Amino acid sequence: MRIVIAGSSGLIGTALRRSWAADGHTVIRLVRRNAAAPDERFWDPTGSPDPGLLSGADVVVNLAGAGLGARRWTRAYREVLRHSRIGPARALAEMTARADPPPRIMLAASGMRYYGVDRGDRELTESDDPGRSGFLPAITREWEAATDPAAIPVCHLRMGLVLAQDGGVLTQLLPLFRRGLGARLGTGREFWSYTGLTDAVRAIRHLAELPSAQGPYNITTPDPVRSAEFTRTLAEVLGRRALLRVPTWALRLSLGDVAPEVLGSLRVLPTRLTEAGFGFTQPHLHQVLRHELRPG
Which residues of this protein are in contact with ligand NAP, per CB under 6 A?
Answer: 7-13, 31-32, 45, 63-67, 80, 84-85, 88, 109, 111, 159, 161-162, 167-169
The smaller minimum CB distance to ligand NAP, of residues 175 and 239, is found at 175
Q: How far is the CB of 241 from ligand NAP (least distance, A)?
A: 25
Q: How far is the CB of 62 from ligand NAP (least distance, A)?
A: 8
**Do the Cβ atoms of 104 and 59 come closer than 8 Å?**
yes
Q: Write out the DSSP string of 117-155.
A: S--TT-EE-TTSPPPSSSHHHHHHHHHHHTTTT-SS-EE
The smaller minimum CB distance to ligand NAP, of residues 38 and 211, is found at 38
The smaller minimum CB distance to ligand NAP, of residues 22 and 36, is found at 36
Q: How far is the CB of 115 from ligand NAP (least distance, A)?
A: 12
Residue 27: in which H helix or E strand, if any? strand 26-31
Q: How far is the CB of 243 from ligand NAP (least distance, A)?
A: 26
* DSSP bridge partners of 26: 2
The smaller minimum CB distance to ligand NAP, of residues 168 and 224, is found at 168
Measure the CA–CA gap between 65 and 83, rounded to whole angstroms.
8
Q: Compute φ and ψ for 124, nearest 5 degrees.
A: -110, 125
Q: How far is the CB of 100 from ligand NAP (least distance, A)?
A: 25
The smaller minimum CB distance to ligand NAP, of residues 75 and 249, is found at 75
- Nearest-Å Rg of the Cα atoms of the chain is 19
Instruction: Name the residue whose CB lies closest to ligand NAP.
Output: 10
Closest of 278, 129, 294, 139 to residue 202, by C-alpha? 278
